[in-house]
Structure 1
Amino acid sequence: MGAVTAADRGPGEVPARSPKQDRSRATRQKLLEAAVSCLAEHGWAGSTVSVVAERAGVSRGAAQHHFPTREDLFTAAVEYVAEQRSTALRALPAQDRAAAVAALVGLYTGPLFRAALHLWVAASNEPQLSERVRELESRVGRETHRMAVELLGADESVPGARETIQGFLDMARGLGLANLLTDDGARRERVVAQWTAILDGALGRGGRQP
């Protein structure tokens, strides 16, 4: 049989990806995941395109085919994992507020936050990164706030609710910074419990509804 052409497909039918396209997507994903891991472990100075390509098991040429510059690779990597994180949070089942608070704090204690922090520091000294990272952080910040409002069952039409959510996220970011040096899980649990009580008082008891 011959190849299926656009005329052969029914209306609305999506063309199947070719094996070459699948390989390209797989290579891109490997590079993005390797870039985040390298950035989290080695920082900006130690995370070159060659190091990432080796970790991903692809050639430097293949890496540069997908991401022509180092800045392209690392901003895309942080954005990719942020999107994966958002997808996972949106898939969470209806839960009580304590679980939602813990899940949101968890955003700032993993490798993505560590990688993003290295990218922010590099952007403060690298003009070619600065504008990209500011724009990326703005988008990620808006999405994180939106998810927090949903997960915590907040009504931002109530005076002070928006500021309470933002204050909570700022606190969570602070816990993430502290976690870079020591994993003080016991203290963090107490802080999370206290913030759950604060949010219950400020927002009313509840959480995302089924």
Structure 2
Amino acid sequence: MATPHEPKQDRSRATRQRLLAATIDCLAETGWAAATVAVVAERAGVSRGAAQHHFPTREDLITAALEYMFDTRNDQAKHEAAALSGLVEGVARTEAVVAGLVESYTSVLFKAALQVWTHAAADPALRERIVPLEAKFGRASHRRAVEALGVDDRDPVAHHLVQATLDLARGLGLADVLTDDSTRRKQIVTQWSATLHTALHPD
């Protein structure tokens, strides 16, 4: 049975989500300097007062946006894993997993996060907030990659190969920030996937 408070709570959640989505878009499209609370509020279609009710400071807004990015990427990864289940095997599956990891680092979410990382490098207070989140995100990304590739992460070789794949994916994402690097990226993904598959499944 609905309570009198539910509609207001629903509106509050919807407002919060609009603000977070607008923050990501602002960061990705116009950069850190332009992603102020006032600009984000206007883009989200809410008053600045309402924005500050949810996020009293810009740092609160940015931190929450990073967590929202993580949750969004986590949901995407689950859908990608479900789509791969039972459809492809062998080196084709490895390549599909690697391609998915790499493409996640060319997304709007990555471009927005990159703006935050760059600014946090020169802002000790923001960096103090961001570093623990990044460690958490990194562990989760590694775990998802291990599951998608179907390897035993207790094996140090497998562990380092998975991490190398994630590092490669991030590097390719950086290479795509200024110019379209898709052709070269596809070639690298194909070559690395074959090498990775042989290393992970030597038998």
Q: Which residue of the partner structure matches residue 32 of structure 1?
A: 20
Q: Which residue of the partner structure matches residue 138 of structure 1?
A: 135
Greater gyration radius: 1
CA RMSD of aligned residues (A): 1.7
Query: Does the aligned pair in 2 maintain the 1:32–1:80 contact within 8 Å?
Result: yes
CA distance in structure 1 between the partners assigned to 2:5 and 2:150 by the alignment: 40
CA distance in structure 1 between the partners assigned to 2:67 and 2:55 by the alignment: 14
Q: Which residue among 29, 35, 54 is the counterpart of 2:42?
A: 54
Q: TM-score, normalised by structure 1?
A: 0.87
Q: Percent identity?
A: 55
CA distance in structure 2 between the partners assigned to 1:42 and 1:72 by the alignment: 19
1:40-77 deviations in Å (ceiling 9; x for gaps): 11211111100000000000000000001000101111
Q: Which residue among 67, 80, 84 is the counterpart of 1:79?
A: 67
CA distance in structure 2 between the partners assigned to 1:144 and 1:158 by the alignment: 18
Q: Which residue among 173, 177, 180 is the counterpart of 1:180?
A: 177
1:162-206 deviations in Å (ceiling 9; x for gaps): 11111111111000000001112111111010111111111118x
1:128-147 deviations in Å (ceiling 9; x for gaps): 20111101111111110000
- Structure with the higher helix share, 1 or 2: 2
Q: Which residue among 100, 104, 107 is the counterpart of 2:101?
A: 104
Answering whether residue 190 of structure 2 is matched by residue 193 of structure 1, we say yes
Stretches of structure 2 that go unaligned for 5 or more consecutive residues are none
Q: TM-score, normalised by structure 2?
A: 0.90
Structure 1 consecutive aligned stretches of length 4 or more whose deviation exceeds 4 Å? none
Letter in 2 for 1:134: V
SS of residue paired to 1:182: coil
Answering whether residue 123 of structure 2 is matched by residue 126 of structure 1, we say yes
Query: Does the aligned pair in 2 maintain the 1:44–1:118 contact within 8 Å?
Result: yes
